[in-house]
Structure 1
Amino acid sequence: MEKCALITGATKGIGRSIALALAKEGYHLLLTARTESNLIALQGELQSLCPDQQIIYQVTDFKDQEQVKELARAVDRVFPELEVLVNNVGLFIPGSLFDEAPGALADQFAVNVLSMHYLAVYFGKKMRQKGGGHLFNVGSVAGKSPFLKAASYSVTKYAVHGLTAILRQELGNYGVKVTEIIPGSTYTSSWEGVDIPEEKFVAATDIANAVVACLKMSKGANVDEILIRPLDLEI
């Protein structure tokens, strides 16, 4: 049976590393993000590495629920038996609770929670019906211990943690696995230019390797969550 995966926020950082890792593992991929030029570049890179696999993309602004719904329909058209969903897309707007710009919570909630909820429920129902599949939700250490300088972001990641726990309880008896990936400070483009050596951070490839390891577990094993933080916790 052919293996198919949807990866949201696929063109940068963690999402990009997961896309590369799953392509190497033989998965057909539907990649999605906001910027088409980045999607085209990644599609070309992966297609050259894996010429026998389907590498498809869909431009999606995850603040727009109608675009998220269209993404789900697009996946149905190309991968009606989706095996893996990686809910990775995220929006980070720094700011303390009383100093945030208007709309900061609404925008982050739309991207970080509502889009994840919609896709997890939509594909979770299909996986439940067929009796298999794996949902990955990428959370954050901010969903376990809030960051005062990223207040609303922390609120959304607490919501991700709760959503993932509910999905796990709902789907486990149907053979569907649910895993929350919980990264600490991971070296991506958002950290470029800071005066901290790259080796102090978690590498995006570490997150991708964790996803692949979960997918290789035995049928009866579910990894509830994986917390990956820098060795130096003070970053």
Structure 2
Amino acid sequence: MTQQFSSKSLVVITGGTKGIGRALVERFAAGGYDVATCSRNQKDLEMLKADIESSYPVQCHIKQADLGQTEACNDFALFVKQLNKPLAAIIHNAAIFRVKALMEESQEELQAMLQTNVISAHILNRQLLPVMIERQQGHLFFIASVASLRGFDNCGAYVTAKHALLGMARALREELKPLGLKVTTVMPGATYTNSWAGIDIDQKRLMPPTDIAEAVWAAFSLSARSVVEEIVIRPQLGDL
């Protein structure tokens, strides 16, 4: 038996207007779930809302928020809570990526990378997980990276942040499993998103974001008796 969620349940997906986030919004909307998402760009959010609500019989709740700012994280969490819907899943997808050697990163740049990619998830969890804990049901996803598992040159701050995100997910898995909540970390390799914009590489060498969304949906769809703790997905020819 799969997990049983109300038809009024909500899936929260950060960074939902592009790439993997957009694919996730579409996949859960296709599955019949209302979605709440955020982005730094209001116009992109409005276009997403129009597309989703014209294609699926669900509601797409949008909130402009730069999760690199603590106040914006708190505002988005309040926005979600005020929807007053049971939470089926929270998917931490928002992230920033920068090509730069770690030894060239300033302290401020590293802090900004950690704020968006890691600390924002902690802020949202502190405010939203109690909604799931009260019902003893829900699924927490972290969209990490193969950079959570190995080092890559010339993107050291990103590697540092993604390693930290995996550690956070593993800790929460242990803390939340007695409470009935699931935790899954997804670690994709090179995926065709804006992070690769302007780079001269064959698109066929990259995974489509829809593959990542389908993997998340498959893990979400398991029975309450099982959890996929970690998923590693790479291009068929391996890392770039």
State the TM-score, normalized to the length of structure 2: 0.93
Corresponding position of 2:142: 137
Give the corresponding residue for 2:3: none
State the one-letter code of the partner of 2:14: T
| d(CA) in 2 for partners of 1:181, 1:234 | 16
**Once the two structures are superposed, what CA deviation does each residue of 1:113-157 show, in whole Å capped at 9, x if it has no partner?**
110111123222221221000000111111110212111111111
Q: Which residue of 1 aligns with 2:28?
A: 22
1:220 matched to 2:208: no
The residue correspondences of 1:192-203 to structure 2 (distance < 5 A) are: 192-203=197-208
The alignment status of 1:8 with 2:14, answered yes or no, reads yes
1:149-186 C-alpha deviation (Å, 9 max, x unpaired): 11111111111010000111111111101000101100
2:42: which partner in 1? 36
Q: Counterpart of 1:70?
A: 75
1:187 Cα deviation from its structure 2 partner: 0.7
Offset at 1:194?
3.1
Q: Which residues of structure 1 form unaligned runs of 5+?
A: none
Take 1:113 and 1:102, find their aligned partners in 2: how far apart are those partners? 16
1:108 maps to 113
Show CA shifts across 1:11-45 (max 9, x none): 01000000010100001011111000000001000
- Percent same amino acid at aligned positions? 33
- Residue 87 of structure 2 aligns to a residue whose secondary structure is coil
**2: CA distance, partners of 1:214 / 1:122:** 24
Matches of 1:10 and 1:62, distance apart in 2: 12
Aligned mates of 1:121, 1:148 — CA distance in 2: 33
2:157 corresponds to which of 110, 134, 152: 152
Can you give the 5+ residue segments of structure 2 that lack an aligned partner in the other structure? 1-5
TM-score, normalised relative to structure 1: 0.95
SS of residue in 1 equivalent to 2:12: strand
